């Protein structure tokens, strides 16, 4: 089948938080504060650097366009770093298991070599997912230019295509399922083993120390995978602009 003639799209415009009207200045202050705290005290620096500065700018200077290449670049790094985060959280779950269940052998098991392998494996998986997503996405012809989001996320950009996106949707569900369910399954196994070890601890002080070790990681896991599951695995019919924006921001 021959491809129809389409007007070439060279840039997109983010709709962003325009539906929030007068609250955009308040959102700017809130998001800027959280972003500064993130830069000061978190490993999420590069991940947020891909998205948040431009999002903050769009809250003050509306309808700023982004080139097609810029959009592809943003999506590429977003997918790499988001996938990398998913698998790093899995590695952290295993780290907690070793720390609690094998404390005397912790430094031997969690050697620098193993840590390097886990980091490289996480990044390599992210790179493969990003290449697959971006290649499939930006081979599509686009008709629309207004992205109903504050960055080049997969679904909002896909909606702008002039052609059938069934293949892209299948790729997205496949990648999202792999990136979400595989780490969740491995983290679940880690915590089953952790709980098994906790039950063998007799002292209440030991229980408290173990809970303190796992609480922050478990909180991040619940928020991260909970939001990701709702954002990327929900049916199209349940899509809501406001909910999608807040989920992505969380």
Structural domain boundaries of the chain? 11-238
Inter-residue contact 126 to 87 (CB < 8 Å): yes
What DSSP string runs through 48-73? HHTTHHHHHHHHHSTT-EEEHHHHHH
Q: What is the pLDDT of residue 134?
A: 92
What gap in Å lies between CA 236 and CA 165, rounded to an integer?
A: 13
Flag whether the pTM goes above 0.85: no
86-110 pLDDT tens trace: 999 999 999 988 988 888 889 999 9
227-235 contacts, C-beta under 8 A, 24 or more apart: 228/82, 228/86, 228/176, 228/179, 228/180, 229/180, 232/154, 232/155, 232/172, 232/176, 232/180, 233/173, 233/176, 233/177, 233/180
The CATH number that domain 11-238 falls under is 1.20.1070.10
211-243 pLDDT tens trace: 777 888 888 888 888 888 888 887 766 666 677
| pLDDT bracket for residue 1 (50, 70, 90) | very low
3-49 pLDDT tens trace: 555 557 888 888 777 777 778 788 888 888 888 877 766 756 677 78
Inter-residue contact 172 to 136 (CB < 8 Å): no
177-190 pLDDT tens trace: 999 999 999 999 99
162-176 pLDDT tens trace: 888 888 889 888 988
Q: What is the pLDDT of residue 46?
A: 75
């Amino acid at each position: 089948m021959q491809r129809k003639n389409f007007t070439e799209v060279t840039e997109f415009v983010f709709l962003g938080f325009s539906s929030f009207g007068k609250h955009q200045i308040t959102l700017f202050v809130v998001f800027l504060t959280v972003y500064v705290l993130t830069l000061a005290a978190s490993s999420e620096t590069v991940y947020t650097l891909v998205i948040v500065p431009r999002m903050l700018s769009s809250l003050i200077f509306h309808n700023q366009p982004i080139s097609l290449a810029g959009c592809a670049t943003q999506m590429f790094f977003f997918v790499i770093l988001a996938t990398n985060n998913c698998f790093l959280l899995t590695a952290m779950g295993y780290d907690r298991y070793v720390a609690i269940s094998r404390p005397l052998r912790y430094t031997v098991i969690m050697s620098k070599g193993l840590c390097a392998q886990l980091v490289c494996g996480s990044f390599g998986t992210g790179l493969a997912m990003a290449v697959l997503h971006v290649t499939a996405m930006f081979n599509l012809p686009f008709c629309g230019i207004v992205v109903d989001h504050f960055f080049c996320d997969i679904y909002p950009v896909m909606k702008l295509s002039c052609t059938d996106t069934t293949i892209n949707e299948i790729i997205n569900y496949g990648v999202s399922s792999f990136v979400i369910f595989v780490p969740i399954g491995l983290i679940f196994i880690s915590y089953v083993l952790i709980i098994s070890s906790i039950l063998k601890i007799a002292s209440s002080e030991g229980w408290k120390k173990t809970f303190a070790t796992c609480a922050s990681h478990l909180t991040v896991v619940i928020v991260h995978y909970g939001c990701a599951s709702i954002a990327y695995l929900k049916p199209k019919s349940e899509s809501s602009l406001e909910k999608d924006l807040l989920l992505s921001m969380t």
